[in-house]
Amino acid sequence: MSEAPPSTPPLGWEHVALGFSFILFDVVVSRFFGLGIGHSLLVSAMRCVLQLAVVAILLQQVFATENPFAVAGIAFLLNLLGTIEIVMNKSKRRHDFMFPSVLIGMLGSTIPISIIGTRYAMSVQPFWEPIQYVPIVGMLCGSTISGIVVSVSYVLKELQENRDKVEMYLAFGASRMEACKPVAKEALRMALTPVINQMSVLGIIAIPGMMTGAILGGSSVQQAAKLQMIIMFMISSSTTLASIFTTIAVIAVAVDGEHRIRSDRIEERQHGFWRAREWLTQKLLTSVKGVGNRLSARSRVSNGTADERTPLIGDS
């Protein structure tokens, strides 16, 4: 009989703090070589700690209740947060109606793929079993985000920087989908390349996190390997569906029904949320500086009055 794998020791926040030292090492390297990413590393690491802590508390409640509506809510929340991340943080260029198109692409790919894969490929009954379904949706969302960002960013970049090629096809009578077909093909190829590369190195060069987690959780190595295969195939399918939908959506918005490239529907500025935050921060700093200047002026006036009165008291 094979012995059960040893359970992982309990981890506390002191272990997390020790692990955080690796981020500090990256910050020191960034400063030494002048990379300018030290601040981003620290912010991302703090976001990682905060987000995972909140998710752990939330998932613990969902796993305990085993309520299908709670599982559905978590799945929708993950897709919603992924959409916000794409639109507000990841994309340097955005287009009109990007938020609803990305959200539909996320939901239309991760949810059906996760249901079919969990129910039939993994033989989980019911398919919404929280401890199985929620992590799978999370992994699908993470990979799908990368595919959408790559495909949408490439299409918008080409329509702005190399619009002459597309306009030439349009001038010869091609429809907007026909004119943008080379751009769309390259965008989808770039979006799917990371998934293909990841599948090609699994097992030989890299042992993925899902397989490692299954082994640490007590599953046999064979079972963990098969589970990882299914997960990777689901990830590739979800990324493909979402990338295709969002690519078609960006072409339909950026090139109108009159076969014109609408640059006015493409925006390169920061998202409005971040512009509003900077404006509020500037206003707050200005207000604080003004209050500080007024307090300093009052202090100088008070000190000046006291200095004027001192000789008079001495003369008396």
For 143-154, how does the pLDDT look when each residue is reduced to its tens digit (9 = 90+)? 999 999 999 999
Over residues 3-19, the pLDDT tens digits come to 545 556 788 889 999 99
Give dist(CA 111, CA 115) in Å, integer.
6
User: For residue 266, what are the β-bridge partners?
Assistant: 95
Q: Are 195 and 237 spatial neighbours (Cβ–Cβ below 8 Å)? A: no
Q: Going residue by residue through the chain, which has 316 residues, state the pLDDT in tens, using 9 for 90 and above.
A: 445 455 567 888 899 999 999 999 999 999 999 888 998 899 999 999 998 999 888 888 888 888 999 999 999 999 999 999 999 888 888 999 999 999 999 999 999 999 999 999 998 888 999 988 998 999 999 999 999 999 999 999 999 888 898 989 888 888 899 999 999 999 999 999 999 988 888 877 777 776 777 776 677 788 888 888 899 999 999 999 999 999 999 999 999 888 888 988 888 877 776 677 777 888 888 888 888 888 887 777 776 655 555 554 445 4
Residue 88 CB neighbours (<10 A): 15
What does the pLDDT read at residue 309? 54
Domain boundaries, the chain: 14-65, 77-283
Q: Are 166 and 158 spatial neighbours (Cβ–Cβ below 8 Å)? A: yes
What does the pLDDT read at residue 90? 85
Specify the residue for token string 């999370």.
138
Report which residue type is found at 251.
Answer: I
Q: How far, CA to CA in Å, does 126 sit from each of 30, 120, 200?
A: 48, 11, 32
Give dist(CA 179, CA 259) in Å, integer.
9
Q: Is the dihedral of CA 231, 232, 235, 237 positive or negative?
A: negative
Q: Is the dihedral of CA 169, 170, 172, 177 positive or negative?
A: positive
Q: Are 251 and 234 spatial neighbours (Cβ–Cβ below 8 Å)? A: no
What does the pLDDT read at residue 2? 47
- The predicted model scores a pTM of 0.79
Specify the residue for token string 């080379």.
182
Kindly state the helix (H) or strand (E) to which residue 266 belongs, with its residue range.
strand 266-267
